[in-house]
Structure 1
Amino acid sequence: MSRKTPLLLTSLAMLALVAVTAVAFAPSGILLWFSLVLGALLVALSVLDMRTLTLPDPLNLAVFALGALMVWQTRPDAWPHHLIGAFAGYTLLVMVEITYRRMRGRDGLGRGDAKLLGALGMWTGWAGLAPIMLVASVCGLLSVGILSLTGKRRFDSTSAIAFGPFIALGGWIVWLGADYLLPAGLY
C-alpha cells in the first residue's frame, strides 16, 4: 500500500461525509449546491494543510468568493454582517499571529489560517466567528491530547500543527447549524 493511500481514503471519506451532512442539514435548492462546493473546498484545504502545513491562497479565495456569491444570491440584506465577519475573522487571527511572533520570536500561526477564517466569516457573518473558533480550538486540543496519550505523536512547544482542518471543521459545523447556533438575521 502506498504511503498516500490512507490520505486518499481519508479524503474520500471526508468528501462522502460532506455530501451526507450537506444533504441532511443544508436547506434545499441553491444553498445545498453552495454547501456542497464549500464542503469540497474545505476538504481540499484540510488535506493540503495536513500534508504541507499550507492553505493555498487560490483555495481560500475560492471559499471567500463563493461565500460572497452565496450572500449576494440568497441574503443580500445581510451583506454588512458578512463583510464584517470576513474582515473580523481575518484580522483576529492576524493579530494572534503577530502577537505570538512578538512574544515568542517565531511564527506560530500561518497567514492562511487567518485567510480561511476570514473566508468563513463571509459565509457565517460575524456572529459565526466565535463558534467557529470554539469548535476549532476544542477539536485541535482534543486531537493533540489523543495523539499524545496514544503515543502516535509527541508534541513540544515547537511542534507544528495544521490548524486549518480544525478551522474548516468549525466553519462547516457552524455553517450547517447556523439556524440553531446563530441569532436570526445575523448570518
Structure 2
Amino acid sequence: MPLPAVTAVLLGLAGLIIGSFLAAVSVRLPREEDVVAGRSRCMSCRQPLKPWQMVPVFSWLILRGRCGQCGAGISGRYILIELAAGGVGVWGALNGQSWLMIGATALLGWQLLLIAIIDAENFWLPDVLTMPLIGTGLIASGLLAGGLPWNQIVGAVAGFGLLWLLAWLYRRVRGREGLGGGDPILFGATGAWVGWTGLPSVLLWASVVGLSLVLARLLLRHSVRGADRMPFGTFLAIGAWLTWLYGPLGL
C-alpha cells in the first residue's frame, strides 16, 4: 500500500469533500428536503451556489464566510464539519495497516460524525442514519474477521436490547420518556462495530462526555436541571469512535 503520509493526504482531501456533503445533509434532513438531488443554495437569498462557491474549506475562506450573491454571513459550522471529516479521513489512514481497516475506520467516523451533529442540533436520531450503521458494521466486521462476526452480531442484539430495556423501565417508573427511540438502535449499531465486549466501554466514554458537559455548564454558571435534554446519541457516537480506535477499556 502507499506510504502512510500519501494515504493520509488522499483520505484527508476525500474527507473534506465528504464533509461538505455531510454538512448539507445535516441541514436538509431535519427539514425533510432532498439530500441528494437538491441544489445547494444560500440560506438567506436562496440563490443556487456556483461550483466555485462549493469547494470545501477554500470557498468559505475566499468568500470570508459570506454569500457571494447577497453578502449574508455563512455559518462557520460548515467549514468546521468539513475539517472534522477531513480529520477523520487522516485519522483513518494513520490508524490501519490495511486498506480494509483504513476504509472501515474512515467510514465509521464519517457516519458517526453526521449522526452526532444531527442529534446535537436536533435531539433526533433518524433511522435512515442509524439502521445503515448496523449493516456497515456487520459487513466491515465480517470482512475483517474473514467470516461470521459473532462478537459483533451478539453486540448488535445486546446493545439494542439493553437500552430498549432501560428505556422501558424508566418509562414505567418515571411515567415519561428518558431515552429517545433512536438511542437503542444506535447502541445496537455500535455493537455491530465494536462487538459486545466493547459496549461497556462505549457507555463509559459516553457517560464521561456527558458528565464533562454538565460540569462545564456548571463552571460557566449555567443552570442544570434533571429535566434538561441531552444529546445522548452524540455521546454514544463519541464513545463508539474512541472504543473502535483504542479498543475496549481494560482488554
TM-score above 0.5:
yes
How big is each residue's C-alpha offset from its partner over 1:92-148, in whole Å with a ceiling of 9 and x where there is no partner? Answer: 111111111122111111121111110010111100000010000011111111022
Instruction: Please say if residues 206 and 238 of structure 2, whose CA atoms lie closer than 8 Å, have aligned partners that are also in contact.
Output: yes
1:34: how far off? 1.5
* Alignment pair present for 1:166 and 2:235: yes
Partner of 1:142: 212
Report the alpha carbon displacement of residue 4 of structure 1 after superposing the two structures with TM: 7.2
Asked whether the 8 Å contact 1:128–1:182 carries over to 2, the reply is no
Q: 2:222 matched to 1:157?
A: no
2:224 partner amino acid: F
Report matched runs for 1:1-187 at 5 Å: 5-77=75-147, 79-151=149-221, 153-178=222-247, 181=249, 183=251
Please give the secondary structure, in 1, of the residue aligned with 2:139. Answer: helix
Aligned-residue RMSD, C-alpha: 2.1
After superposing on structure 2, the runs of 4+ consecutive aligned residues of structure 1 that deviate more than 3 Å are: 1-4, 180-183
Number of aligned residues: 181
> Within 1, Cα distance between the matches of 2:83 and 2:95?
18
Partners in 2 of 1:126 and 1:65 — Cα distance?
A: 16
Q: From the two aligned structures, give the one with the greater helix fraction.
A: 1
Q: Which has the higher contact order (CA 8 A, sep 6+)?
A: 1
Contact 2:134–2:189 (Cα < 8 Å) also in 1: yes
**Larger-gyration structure (1/2):** 2
Structure 1 counterpart of 2:56 = none
Deviates more, 1:76-85 or 1:129-138: 76-85
Taking structure 1 as reference, are residues 182 and 36 closer, same or farther at Cα in structure 2, changes over 3 Å only? farther
Asked if 2 retains the 8 angstrom alpha-carbon contact of 1:26 and 1:176, the reply is no
**Compared with structure 1, are the counterparts of its residues 134 and 28 closer, same or farther at alpha carbon in structure 2 (3 Å cutoff)?**
same
The 2-side partners of 1:8 and 1:63 are apart by 23
CA distance in 2, matches of 1:147, 1:105: 27
Unaligned 5+ runs, structure 2: 1-64, 66-71
- What CA distance in whole angstroms lies between the structure 1 residues aligned with 2:73 and 2:243? 33
Task: Find the residue that maps to 1:5 and give its secondary structure.
Answer: coil
Following superposition, the deviation at residue 29 of structure 1 comes to 0.9
**More moved, 126-135 vs 78-87:** 78-87
| Alpha-carbon contact 2:91-2:106 (below 8 Å) kept | no
Q: Structure 2 vs 1, CA of residues 116 and 4 (structure 1 numbering), >3 Å: closer, same or farther? A: farther
Taking the aligned partners of 1:11 and 1:126, their CA distance within structure 2 comes to 30
Q: Quick one: structure 1 residues 137 and 22, their matched pair in 2 at CA, closer, same or farther if it must change by over 3 Å?
A: same
Identity over aligned pairs, percent? 30
TM-score where L is the length of structure 2: 0.66
1:67 and 1:122 in contact (8 A); partners too: yes
- The alpha carbon displacement at 1:177 in A equals 1.3
